[in-house]
Structures are given as C-alpha cells and as structure tokens.
Structure 1
Amino acid sequence: MRHWLIKSEPDVFGIDDLARVGREPWNGIRNYQARNFMRDDMEVGDLALFYHSNAKPPGVVGIARVVSEPYADDLQFDPQSDYFDAKSTAEAPRWLMRDFEFVLKFPEMVTLDQLKGEPALEGMRVLQRGTRLSITPVEPDHFDQVCSMAGVKV
C-alpha cells in the first residue's frame, strides 16, 4: 500500500463534504505530474491524507481511501467547465480521475505550521519549497507521524 496527500480547498470540497457524500470523483487535476501519480502509482486501497489548502490555516484534516481505477475526467470535455481541454478527446483523454472514499476526520487539524515544526517529517513533499501539487506521495513513516500528531491510529 502506498500513501498520498490530496489537496482541496475547503470552500470548494472539504473533508466534511467527503464525509457527507461518502465517495467522490477526484476531478480537475490539471498538472501532468499529479496526473501521472494518480494514473501510474496509485492503487485501489491506498490511503491519502486529506489536506485543506488555501485555508487559514492550511493543514491535514483527515484520511481518504482510493476506491477506483483511473478513468477519464469528464470535465475536460465540458466547454463550460474551468477544466475544459479542447485538445483532449474521448478516444485519447489527457486527464484522469479516481474515486476516493471517506475514512475519518481528524479530531483537530494538523496545521501546516505543525507539520513544518516536526523534525520527523523532514523531506515530506508538501513541506518542500515550491511544491504546489494537489497530489503527492507520502512516505509511510510520514503518514504515520501525521496520524500520530492528530491523535489517531490507522
């Protein structure tokens, strides 16, 4: 099993939204590296830290699980969508998505400042300068440390 960090803005789709719906397509990924992680490296059953980005404060708020194989992101075909891609076709879609399901919400957010202040998280991608990807791999020991900081065991 691999571990991931997935980012979403809480006013667009937050952990409470995932808890309410139970399962959601993770669409709108428009970075090739993030897409490749999702397409090539994620597997059904992998766990992901759910990170609220563009929030005050930003941080990890829970855990989600990958529950589908990758499939075409339908937003790329919708001319009304911000995620429309005129060069993408149904025969050769550029952009993919996977479904995630809710696992748990942390009792308290583990803030970005807390993550940065934890020496055991050195090297975690979300903490590296200039890393803005919405999907990044997370080392198993980093995943466990963040869960420990939240007071949960997975």
Structure 2
Amino acid sequence: MLHGKKGFERIVWAFKNVLNQSLTWLFCDLGPASQDDESRPIKGLHPQLLESAPAQAKLKGVLTPPLQELVSSQMPEAEMQERCGAMAEWIAMVQLGSPRISTGDSVDSYLSRYSVPDFDKNDTVDLVSLKWRGFISSAWTMQLFLTLM
C-alpha cells in the first residue's frame, strides 16, 4: 500500500476513528494441550482464560410440530416459506422458554395470538435447551455425537 492511495487512507481512518480503544477478542488455541503454556504465542498478550460450558434449561410438556414432513419437493414455494418461518418462530419460543408452547397453556387469545404450528399433528415431548457463550469444544461435540448415536 502506498501513502495517498484509497486503501491506505481507509486504514488510517480506521486507526484514528475505530481502533483507538482497547477491544476484547475471542481466540481459540488449537495447539496441542501438552505444549508448555509459557511457550504459546498468545501468552505474551496476557489473555484471560475462560472455560465455556452450556447453560441448560429443561422444558417439560412442550408441544412440538412434526419435523419429518416440514417441507417436501412437491410443496409450493410460498407454503414452504410459511412453514419454515413458523418453525423458526417455534424454535425462538423454545429458546425463550415461553409458556405459549406448553401443553397446559390457556392464555386468552386477546393477550397472545401465538399458537404452535399444527402442520398435521403435534406431539408432546420434554426438551432440553442449551445456550452457549464462546467456542464449543470439540470434545463436547464428539461426546454429544456419540450420545446421539
């Protein structure tokens, strides 16, 4: 890059206006665990090491729309988009732990218009919602895979 060129001026602007304060960065060290901690390159920057663990929420008696026939190749595109949107909304309600998705919900329709999408039939199941902040470790992912198998 040369002084006076457009790209150089953008970098100068970024350093003056954006990168003028301390920022927090998220790194994942993929080096072998047996390596000495003092010899790692990031150690010189005095990182704050945090362990990442999931936050679990157990949900009992959740109305679940069927996932097997959510979409099909014979379905019109408009209906397919509507079903996928309804499923995304249901997933958001599960993530929030909303009582609108439980079997015993009897809220007045004037207070909440939401209802679980009823494509063909709904099942009642118990769910576990996992929320994560940071990187998910490969060991945890492998354990989940083996558990599901």
Same fold (TM over 0.5): no
Instruction: Select the structure of larger CA radius of gyration.
Output: 2
What is the TM-score of this pair, normalised by structure 1?
0.20
Structure number with the higher helix fraction is 2
